[in-house]
Structure 1
Amino acid sequence: MTEFIKYLSLKKDESGDNLYFISDETTKRELHRYNLNNEELIQVTNEKENVKNFWHVDEGLLIATDYNGNEREQLTYIKNGSVQKITDDGDYYHHYGVYMKDHFIFLRNHHDGKDFDLVKYSQGQLEVMATFERPTSIVSKFDDEKIILSQQVNNIDKEIYLFNIHTGEYKKTPLSIGRFSNYRSLNEETAVFTSDYLEGHMNLYLLNKEDFSFRKLTYFKWDIEKLLILNDKETVVFEVNKKGFSQLFQYKVTEDILELLDFPTDGVIHSIQNIDSKLYMIYSSMNQPHIVCSYDLMRHELIKLFGNEDLKEPMTVSHSTYPSFDGLDVPYYLYEQAGENLSTAIHVHGGPESQARPEFNELYYKLYKEGFQIAVPNIRGSTGYSKFYIGLDNQEKRMDAAKDVVSLRSHLCAVHDANPENIFIMGRSYGGFMTLLLITQFPKLWRAAVDIVGISHFTTLLSNTPAWRRDNRSYEYGFIGKHDEFMQCIAPLNNAHRVRSPLKIFHSHHDVRVPFSESTQMYEKMKEVHKDVELIVYENEGHQYLYTENQDDMNARIVKFFKEETKK
């Protein structure tokens, strides 16, 4: 059993009497239900594999699972006690979209291929309606005949299309290229969505569904993330990601009235649902493990329904910025210890088109209890700080992002009493690459390092990753044939001989985002040049570790590793 339970993907059922969610309290991720009337909390599924997602469809449940975290999700439909396999082909990824005209409509792509098939399924019959040569997603139902599709143009931007499921007509909309999300229909004539059109932040827009003209409704200098429409079909509730922290707003579309709701602003809203006059949310903060709570929109009253207990030993936490080598202000979160000459760990998030947020992290808590100070930066390339900031690390600007971490190290020593002899570096995925880059390009600065499912060479990553992912990642990392010299120059694999700090590498056999070979080749090269390295492998995981047994093992190993290295 895990010490802290994670809650994910909160959704109401069609009756509005129950909240469904995924949690890992049984040591893997299963679907659970909370009855709002009698407060009964029960486990709904008992799958062999982790439940990755679910949807309420036609008074039944559609559940997605994969094999050992390989992300090739298979869809199972449960209704009135009967179980129906919608998909059962481990060679394909399946991405559920919508239910229309008694059909399940979803996308699939072969694990070795580049094409995306748009599929409809009903009563055991599967029909491929269209095939696309670019990564494609189903955004939403548009009307009774059409669905909205998005297609990737590069690593962040999308084009928006309409597809008629009866005629097969496929038509590009007049909407601009850019980020696009949170499409919600208000009525037959209008809808809302969020995008970075006109400027670099995700704001709210009103769409005319007839001619696709749109009007900007909000002007935040931060990104709107989660969004829902209340029952009156004219009130929008959304979360604004301000410096990583969630702020909750209510907007009356017809009256053009924006209101900041009286909700805690020291953490992150992970999921949000609405039933009548109440919002239901999964919430956590740097000092608050995940809970499920309700918020009354009339009374502005917040109530915890269930979840983790408060921490017995709260941490001292803060948020600030520091100047990087070129004067850029880089934001970071700090789990700050009192004293001098503090052992300090820097953790770099993955993505890189992602963002560290002030949510609860069990590893940070365990390190903190052992006396470590932890700094978590959002270096250039992170989302949440404008489209301009996202592009600052692309391709041959990669070393600028590494220098952001070096500048943070100097800042921590100068301002937060970090001991320069005991500064540790770690990261997952792209953060793992950044860890390897830093210990090879700036080898004297680190006491020890941890690389979790990280990249050791962009060229081998791009050569071995699935074809449909290759172009997307190339816009970020560089294109083979164009950026070869630079990728060879900075590759940690080619510079393993420069490493001075001991390194622990964690990986898993079923990782489809960063192939297992990225870690084995780095481990073998480190051993070849007689460096201090250990490779820990989890047999039943993919890119994200979902089994609490493996998470607990990895966290314990990292804490022990850092403690032992501090004593030397």
Structure 2
Amino acid sequence: MRLSMILACPALIAITATVGFSQSVPDSIIAEGVPEVPRALAESLSRYQNHRTALFQGWFADRREVLITTRFADTNQVHLVTTPGGARTQQTFLADRVLGASARPRHEQFLFEADQGGAENYQLFLDDPKEGSHKRLSDGRSRHVSARWSNSGNQLAWSSNARNSKDMDLYIVDPASPQSARRLKEVDGDWMVADWAPDDQRVAAVEYRSINESYVYLIDVKTGETEAITPKASDEAPAVSYADVRWSKDGKALYWTSDRDSEFRRLTRYDLATRTATTLTAEIPWGVDGFDLSDDGATIVLATNENGISRIHILDVASGGELPGPALPAGQVGGIQFRRHSREFAYSLTSARATTDVYSFDLDGGTSSRWTASETGGLNPKSFAEPELIHYPSFDGLSIPAFVYRPSATRFPGPRPVLIDIHGGPEGQFRPGFLGRTNYLIEELGITLVFPNVRGSAGYGKSYLKLDNGPKREDSVKDIGALLDWIAKQPGLDASRVGVIGVSYGGFMALATLTHYSDRLKGGIDIVGISNFISFLENTRGYRRDLRRAEYGDERDPAIKAIFEAISPLMNADKIKVPLLVAQGKNDPRVPASESEQIVARVRRGGQPVWSILAKDEGHGFAKKKNQDYLQEVEVLFLKTYLLGDRP
């Protein structure tokens, strides 16, 4: 799904509602160079724009009830579902999106995390459904993330950059008295509390330096005394990634996922007395996405990423053997969590023909329950295209995986136009799930969608992940060139009608592809993308800068700066010889709006058609439905005009 916003320059186009055209541009949007959207196009899109999702956030109040986030108005809000298939009762009513929620242990309250205008300065709120009220626990202005409840529910820990807007220090508060908030640990960098010890006397914390390097610590809650558990990287000891750190139920061990001595993150048990680590998933040749332990510590449920597809594995801790679990379609699983005092776990699931919904599985009875059944705008999802996994050779012989969604050959005979959709990250991965409104391109326009996982993508091992680092950055762009070669050899695809789209880092990839292969493309769409690594690193928020330097390189190093100058799309904008659509959020803290402004100005100066959209109330992507809907109308009009040649 590619919904975001774009940038606008001084000259603005006010699009008014006239006969045959859609309603005016939302007040939140500034559009430049964008034609009027035909009313018929907007109406044909409406069904695809009205699907809903439900994301599992946690079990509520020690009862068999679940908290979910879903949208009934303009943004995702918290809802309570008290029985499988039951009604969704809305709990929060904010103008901005709610990112997540977690029930307060042993209380009938929950915490939720909310955005403010897309700027990602997330705030923490404690909601009391019985009182019908909520109170803010954070300062109202800084960034607050990764909140973790103590087991008693009497303390809450989180990370915040309140001290200097850069470093993510660790804080603790008694939610009964927000004024009791105190800094547990002042840090240099990005830290988070991962889990509380069973007795609530210590926490396990993770220092995150990059997707390839992180460290685990134990911190005394009263004194702040910190003990390093994992060794520092050195010339003799390569960097290791640790994630999803949990205490065992008896407090004698830690569980985590780690790529130590492996290409993939494996589930590991670390004995605190002997300081030894035991790998629990050595027989699974794929990475572990997440896991949870049952209350009695006897069972672990985990999800793996197997060539982009999620699989659930259920481990018996005593024997190490696997137990039977739910049968799943090819898709994605997230948010696995056991219900307290039971052997039932819940999770979110999405697949090509099913929007994201909430399910649970009871190990005792071996039965599954479906908690939500989200709407798909009246469309029959059974007709939607399912992904085909392909591999194609790149310039150096490396095999690149990609997922291909093809329209019906009966309804759309002959070679089909192609849209290449490049994921962000760059340490991301396209994984097949419900495409939502993007299904319109396949089902109504007959466009084949290709989602490549170029070198540097996660999910294929840490060696593959590092193949685009530093001076190798453009090797991933060459992977798109090789994909164009593959398309040219496919009888069902039309190599004369190919476009490219990307969000965030994918926006950089789309722009870079346009600078290298304009002669083989009809147009490109850049959504909140990087146009110049130097200005991006100089202007991204301080709490992100060092993390991004770890991936891209340090622009203060003259050698790295020279590479950035050579490869940045802004420096090569004169090579873009096809139309461009750029979308941006004004409040984006990750990729500042200036990145879009400068590429729009430069490409327009070269004489190419440029459509631009700036959303004044959004950040790194479009979260509000009215903005999403308008952007999609413009995207489809752009593709109809330049990819399909159906000019209005």
Who is 2:30 aligned against? none
How far, CA to CA, are the matches of 2:148 and 2:355 in structure 1? 31
Secondary structure of 1:246's counterpart equals strand
Paired residues of 1:330 and 1:378 also in contact (CA < 8 A): yes
The correspondence for 1:105, drawn from 157, 162, 165, is 157
Distance 2:172 2:485 in 1: 56
| C-alpha distance in 2 between matches for 1:547 and 1:137 | 28
Paired AA for residue 347 in structure 2: M
Match of 1:283, SS state, is strand
The 10-residue stretch of structure 1 (52-61 or 177-186) with the greater mean CA deviation from structure 2: 177-186
Establish whether residue 153 from structure 1 lines up as the match of residue 209 from structure 2. Answer: yes
- Given candidates 64, 70, 73, the residue that maps to 2:122 is 73
- The answer (yes or no) to whether the contact 2:204–2:245 under 8 Å persists in 1 is no
User: What is the CA-CA distance between 1:512 and the residue it aligns to?
Assistant: 0.6
Matched, 1:359 2:433: yes
Q: Is the 8 A contact 2:423 2:503 kept in 1?
A: yes
- Among 302, 322, 330, which residue is 1:238 paired with? 302
For 2:243, give the aligned amino acid. S
Task: Choose 414-423 or 320-329, whichever is displaced more.
Answer: 414-423
Q: What is the distance in 1 between the residues matched to 2:84 and 2:327?
A: 24
- Is the aligned partner of 1:50 residue 2:97? yes
Secondary structure of 2:347 counterpart: strand
Does residue 297 (structure 1) correspond to residue 346 (structure 2)? The answer is: no
Residues 378-387 or 184-193, more deviating: 184-193
The alpha-carbon distance between structure 1 residues 76 and 299, as it changes in their structure 2 partners (threshold 3 A), is closer
> Are residues 1:521 and 2:598 paired?
yes
CA-CA distance at 1:529 after TM superposition: 2.2
Change (3 A) 1:489 1:363: farther
CA offsets, 1:428-473, max 9 Å, x none? 0000000000101222121110000000000000000122311211
Of all paired residues, the percent bearing the same amino acid is 25
Is 1:457–2:527 an aligned residue pair?
Answer: no
Match of 2:504 among 417, 424, 429: 429
Superposed, 1:270-281 pairs within 5 Å as 270-275=334-339, 276-281=342-347
Q: CA deviation at 1:522?
A: 0.7
Q: Which amino acid aligns with 1:33?
A: L
Per-residue Cα deviation, 1:472-526 (whole angstroms, up to 9, x for no partner): 1112112113201110011111111111110000101111111111000111112
Q: CA shift at 1:216, angstroms? A: 0.9
Q: How does 1:10-409 map to 2 (within 5 A)?
A: 10-36=57-83, 39-58=86-105, 59=107, 60-79=109-128, 80-81=130-131, 82-99=133-150, 102-110=154-162, 113-122=165-174, 123=177, 124-142=179-197, 143-174=199-230, 177-184=239-246, 185-219=248-282, 220-259=284-323, 261-275=325-339, 276-298=342-364, 300-308=366-374, 310-311=380-381, 313-337=383-407, 338=409, 339-369=413-443, 370-409=445-484
Report how far residue 301 of structure 1 moved.
4.2
Aligned partners of 1:8 and 1:21 also within 8 Å: yes
The Cα offsets for residues 5-35 of structure 1, whole Å up to 9 and x where unpaired, read as 1222431113232111111232211001111
Q: Which runs of 5+ in 1 are unaligned?
A: none
Shift of residue 48, structure 1, vs aligned partner: 2.8
Contact 2:419 2:449 in 1 (8 A): yes
**Counterpart amino acid of 1:182?**
D
Whole-angstrom CA distance in 2 between matches of 1:140 and 1:366: 42
| Counterpart secondary structure, 1:461 | helix
Distance 1:300 1:414 in 2: 48
Say which is worse superposed, 501-510 or 155-164, in terms of deviation. 155-164
For the Cα contact (< 8 Å) 1:33–1:43, is it kept in 2?
yes
Instruction: Give the one of 556, 561, 564 matched to 1:484.
Output: 561
SS at match of 2:511: helix
**Residues of 2 paired with 1:435 and 1:47: CA distance?**
34
1:90–1:487 Cα change, 3 Å = same
Closer/same/farther in 2, CA of residues 423 and 57 from structure 1, 3 Å limit: same
Query: How far off is 1:117 after superposition?
Result: 2.4
Q: Does 1:501 align with 2:578?
A: yes
On the 8 A contact 1:5/1:307 being kept in 2, the answer is no
Report if aligned partners of 2:405, 2:450 keep a CA contact under 8 Å in 1. Answer: yes
**Does the 8 A contact of 1:97 with 1:107 survive in 2?**
no
TM-score w.r.t. the length of structure 1 is 0.95
CA RMSD of aligned residues (A): 2.1
Distance of 2:162 and 2:511 partners within structure 1 = 31
Q: Is the 8 A contact 1:247 1:263 kept in 2?
A: no
Matched letter for residue 166 of structure 2: K
Q: Which moved more, 1:29-38 or 1:496-505?
A: 29-38
Equivalent position amino acid for 2:196 in 1? K
Deviations 1:280-337 (A, max 9, x none): 3221112222222333435544443322355153214311211111111111111013
Secondary structure of 1:306 counterpart: coil
Q: CA deviation at 1:259?
A: 4.1
1:191 shift after superposition:
3.4
- The alignment of Structure 1 onto Structure 2 pairs a total of residues equal to 568
Q: Which has the higher contact order (CA 8 A, sep 6+)?
A: 2
Deviation at 1:380, TM superposition (A): 0.7
- SS of the aligned residue for 1:442 comes to helix
| Structure 2 stretches lacking a partner, 5+ long | 1-45, 233-238
